[in-house]
Structures are given as structure tokens and as C-alpha cells.
Amino acid sequence: QVHLVESGGGLVQSGGSLRLSCAASGRTFGRYTMAWFRQAPGKEREFVASIPWDGATTYYADSVKGRFTISRDNAKNTMTLQMNSLKPEDTAVYYCAAGAYYNTRSSTNYNYWGQGTQVTVAS
């Protein structure tokens, strides 16, 4: 079992930055691929970024590539998402997820989810 808690969301002006964190409980954090998804009002949940347990390869949605950076610290059971050059279309609830598949982008392959943190980018 993995319990996930996100933090770091908030209101920021367009072009600004935010850093989201995901704290995980459980001793098996280092065995999971971790990912960020987001869901805007009226839209389906979408993949943002993922990082496997070994940190070897990271994946990003095209819409955030070059602006967002995902990282993890297995010793501290934490994952972060550094978000730069934020745009109004980045406004959404951001969710942290953990799954056993190696670096998958599909939400159906993630077994554990946090409660989400709101990110609002004002224009």
C-alpha cells in the first residue's frame, strides 16, 4: 500500500512558477513508477509527466515539455514537479499517482492516487 499526499498548489500569474510535491508513505516507494496527472473543469484527467523507480527515463505530455520537470528522491519517499512558464491552460487539479508498470502514461495503470492539489494560473 502507498498513501500519497500532494502539496504546493496555489494561485500564480501567467509566466510564473510553482513546485508541487508528493509525499508517499510505505517502504516500497522505490518500486513504483510515479506520475503527475491533471484534470481541468469539464475535462478528462490527462497525463502530465512520469518517472520510473530508477529515474532512468522521464516522460512528459507535449503540452508541458520544456516547462515542467519531474524528479524523485527514493530515500525521502518524495516526488516533485517543477512547473515554470505557467499558462492559464495549466489550471487544473494536479494528482500524484503510483503504479507498478514501468513508466506508463496510462492512468489505468496507476493503482494509488493522492487527493489532488489545485493549481490556478491567472492571465
* The three grid cell numbers given for residue 68, joined into one nine-digit string: 515542467
Residues in the chain with pLDDT < 50?
A: none
**What is the overall mean pLDDT for the chain?**
95
Contact 3, 24 (CB under 8 A): yes
Please report which residue ranges of the chain form alpha helices under DSSP H. Answer: none
- % of the chain at pLDDT higher than 70: 100
